[in-house]
């Protein structure tokens, strides 16, 4: 095994898949609940509950199991690429189906329609993303090179995220006003548009022969459930999961509630695409500086610094009055600077955890670890959407009302800003004390090198 260095062109091509995947993720995080409540006129509490039930049933097991399956796959294309090649089209179609539900469904029918379409989408999304993200740890074993690969990938991730966040409502408006579609028909076409983009970007990487694993290890042979739960014996991974779960709830609350926050308490609905573009554009610009900071002070401390900055921006946002145009643009910019660490640090921290596991178990189990991480993030994201839906309902939110009651406006402010700040504050000390520092990782890689050399001599 060698510390392979990838060229810039290879890193760019590898990152392209994250453009499409991030675009559909952005569309879901920012507009899924909004689509259910303000387009399909479904109760926010019912929609949020349906999404959470899906995550706590099928999604609870599929990430770890698909990761286990990915690790054990043997094919002429390797362990990961077959899932990128053959699951991309079903991924696109299932995403389109989620945004093609009929208006006016009875509550029970609406519940199961949301539940089943979300579960179908998540099946193919998990197969693709678990395989794709697991490839990161196999392209190189170098600590800083992984950060570089993650940074290049996150550039496309942010571009895709901006693309999905900034043009979703614009596209829906164009399809509705320029092409004469109904509101529901316009959103269906938006779903198909983003689904096809995701499929194309994933296939570009899946069908490429450029990305070969530098890790040549036998697939995991323990039973699948044992393999999944054995990851919890890895103490740095448990710490990583706790941080990731809390961060997922906090960030999803922000993204889910942002359209409501801008539309109602701030009253700047027309500026929503611009505010999203500014927030995510600044985030993208600070990915490379964030990577340089991580190289100097470590990934955990950089992550903590970033979410500290984001917390200050959210606190200011909580107190902003209606029509505060200049302040909201400043707050969005500062939040973008802070949240850049959310894009860079976790994706370069997890490969280090995989090597810690290899040192102690003798196995390379990227798929299982990425699957477990994906499961925790998706369940906690669904929990955040459910909290958003329940919170809106308790606060007295009225679907398709231009003017919301004061209780709903306060509830939106709390869900968008105050609650995420509390959660982010919990993560900061955990990140400062994160166990795998640059020095700790160097010891792990040296120990692995010595172990492999010894095994080769036997």
Residue of 12, 3, 8 lying closest to 205 (CA atoms): 12
State both tokens at 195: 């689904």
Task: Give 126-166 pLDDT, tens digit per residue.
Answer: 899 888 887 876 777 676 777 777 778 878 888 898 899 88
* Phi-psi label, residue 267: left if phi above 0, alpha if psi -120 to 50, beta otherwise: left
> Which stretch of DSSP H or E encloses residue 416?
none
CA 344 – CA 284 distance, rounded (Å): 10
Residue of 328, 374, 359 lying closest to 436 (CA atoms): 359
Q: Which residues contact 296 (CB under 8 A, 6 or more apart)?
A: none
Q: Which residues contact 267 (CB under 8 A, 6 or more apart)?
A: 322, 323
The superfamily (CATH) of domain 8-210+220-457 is MFS general substrate transporter like domains (1.20.1250.20)
Average pLDDT, stretch 290-315? 94
**Lowest mean pLDDT: which of 37-51, 58-72, 240-254, 297-311?**
58-72
CA 43 – CA 37 distance, rounded (Å): 6
CA 424 – CA 456 distance, rounded (Å): 46
Which pLDDT does position 397 carry in this prediction? 93
Q: Cβ(140)–Cβ(3) under 8 Å?
A: yes
CA 355 – CA 142 distance, rounded (Å): 11
Residue of 260, 235, 262 lying closest to 395 (CA atoms): 260
**Lowest mean pLDDT: which of 96-100, 289-293, 388-392?**
289-293
Give the whole-number percent of the chain exceeding pLDDT 90.
55
- Band of pLDDT at residue 1, cut at 50, 70 and 90: very low
Average pLDDT, stretch 318-344? 94
Give the predicted TM-score (pTM) of the model.
0.82
Give DSSP secondary structure letters for 167-230. HHHHHHHHHHHTS---HHHHHHHHHHHHHHHHHHHHHHHHT-S----S---PPP-S-HHHHHHH
Is the pLDDT score of 426 beyond 80? yes
Return the exposure string of 278-310: e unless at least 16 CB atoms fall within 10 Å of the residue's CB, then b: bbbbbbbebbbebbebbeeebbbbbbbbbbbbb
Phi and psi for 222 in degrees, rounded to 5? -75, 160
Q: Cβ(356)–Cβ(365) under 8 Å?
A: no
Task: Give 29-73 pLDDT, tens digit per residue.
Answer: 999 999 999 899 999 999 999 999 988 888 777 876 777 777 777
Q: Where are the domains of the chain?
A: 8-210+220-457
Which pLDDT does position 320 carry in this prediction? 96
First to last CA, the chain: 17
Average pLDDT, stretch 109-116? 97
CA 237 – CA 244 distance, rounded (Å): 10
Q: Which residues contact 178 (CB under 8 A, 6 or more apart)?
A: none
Task: Give 365-392 pLDDT, tens digit per residue.
Answer: 777 787 788 888 888 998 999 999 999 9
CA 278 – CA 285 distance, rounded (Å): 10
Residue of 117, 108, 120 lying closest to 46 (CA atoms): 108
Q: Where are the alpha helices (DSSP H) in 35-182?
A: 44-56, 58-72, 81-86, 88-98, 107-134, 136-139, 143-177
Q: Which residues contact 20 (CB under 8 A, 6 or more apart)?
A: 160, 194, 197, 198, 199, 200, 201, 202
Average pLDDT, stretch 394-423? 93
């Amino acid at each position: 095994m060698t510390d392979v260095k990838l060229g810039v062109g290879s890193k760019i091509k590898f990152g392209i898949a994250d453009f499409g995947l991030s675009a559909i993720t952005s569309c879901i995080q920012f507009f899924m609940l909004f689509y259910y409540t303000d387009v399909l006129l479904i109760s926010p509490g019912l929609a949020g509950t349906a999404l959470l039930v899906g995550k706590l049933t099928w999604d609870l097991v599929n990430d770890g199991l698909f990761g286990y399956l990915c690790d054990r796959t043997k094919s002429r294309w390797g362990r990961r690429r077959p899932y990128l090649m053959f699951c991309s089209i079903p991924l696109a179609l299932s995403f389109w189906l989620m945004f093609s539900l009929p208006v006016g469904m009875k509550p029970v029918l609406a519940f199961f329609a949301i539940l089943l379409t979300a579960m179908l989408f998540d099946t193919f999304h998990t197969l693709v993303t678990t395989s794709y993200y697991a490839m990161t740890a196999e392209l190189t074993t170098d600590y800083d090179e992984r950060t570089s690969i993650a940074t290049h990938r996150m550039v496309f991730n942010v571009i895709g995220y901006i693309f999905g966040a900034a043009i979703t409502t614009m596209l829906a408006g164009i399809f509705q006003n320029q092409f004469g579609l109904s509101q529901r028909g316009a959103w269906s076409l938006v779903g198909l548009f983003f689904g096809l983009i995701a499929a194309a970007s994933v296939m570009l990487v899946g069908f490429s022969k450029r990305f070969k694993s530098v890790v040549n290890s036998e697939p995991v042979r323990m039973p699948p459930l044992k393999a999944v739960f054995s990851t919890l014996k890895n103490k740095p991974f448990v710490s990583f999961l706790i941080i990731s779960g809390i961060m997922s709830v906090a960030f999803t609350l922000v993204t889910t509630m942002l359209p409501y926050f801008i539309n109602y308490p701030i009253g700047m609905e027309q500026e929503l695409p611009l505010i999203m573009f500014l927030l995510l554009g600044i985030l993208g610009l600070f990915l490379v500086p964030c990577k340089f900071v991580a190289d100097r002070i470590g990934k955990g401390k950089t992550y903590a610094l970033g979410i500290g900055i984001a917390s200050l921006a959210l606190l200011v946002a909580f107190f902003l009055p209606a029509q505060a145009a200049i302040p909201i643009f400043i707050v969005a910019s500062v939040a973008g600077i802070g949240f850049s660490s959310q894009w860079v640090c976790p994706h370069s921290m997890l490969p280090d955890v995989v090597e810690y596991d290899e040192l102690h178990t003798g196995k390379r189990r990227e798929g299982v670890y990425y699957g477990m991480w994906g499961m925790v993030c998706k369940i906690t994201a669904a929990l955040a959407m459910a909290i958003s839906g329940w919170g809106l309902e308790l606060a007295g939110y009225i679907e398709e009302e231009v003017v919301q009651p004061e209780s709903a406006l306060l509830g939106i402010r709390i869900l968008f800003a105050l609650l995420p700040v509390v959660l982010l504050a919990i993560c900061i000390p955990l990140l400062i004390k994160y166990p795998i520092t640059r020095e700790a990782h160097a010891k792990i890689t040296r120990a692995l090198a010595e172990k492999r050399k010894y095994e080769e001599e036997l």
